[in-house]
Amino acid sequence: VARELQRRGKLRSIAALETRPYNQGSRLTAYEIMTENMPGPCLICDSMAASYIRAKGADACVVGADRVCANGDTANKIGTFTLSIIAKEMGVEFFVASPFTTLDVELESGDMIEIEERPPGEMLDSSGAPKGMSCWNPAFDVTPAEYITGIITEKGVLRKGADGKFDVKGFVAKHS
């Protein structure tokens, strides 16, 4: 999505979140941004998103997805749901960009997605937390469709209908 916006001359700047606890944003996304020479690159901590949007502004938030359910709920890296709430509260459109193959019409809603819990040591060992501290470490969260503006795939952008709902099944049937 960012590459296409840049190709069209519509990308003014781009910010990447660090994406804890594995820092995929600081390692992978930031690398791609720099390699593609995207304008105004900025890396921020996950917890800075609201402050960044308030201080710098944002036209849109674009995130990935590991799965998109029939009702438009999406599963993605932990923290995506939080970012969607921030975007909605701040009046910023929130888009999910994912391959067409992640649209799973067999899952009616995000309530049906089992969220993997990662071993506590993955967070505790690198955090400096005191010994004996407990930890909850889900790998993903589910963003309800109500927080999502549109779902971007290589086959087009799925937007909500007049009823305010996504028709993922219809989109898949049309483009399969």
C-alpha separations of 109 from 72, 76, 158 in Å: 7, 14, 16
Beta bridge partners of 103: 68
Asked whether the bond before 21 is cis by omega within 30 degrees of 0, the reply is: yes
Token pair belonging to 47: 């917890």
Amino acid at 17: L
Q: Is 57 left (phi over 0), alpha (psi -120 to 50) or beta?
A: left
3, burial (CB in 10 Å: exposed 0-12, middle 13-18, buried 19+): exposed
66 catalytically annotated: yes
d(CA 76, CA 89): 20
Q: Pick the catalytic residue: 46, 66, 104, 167?
A: 66
Q: Any idea which residues carry the catalytic annotation?
A: 66
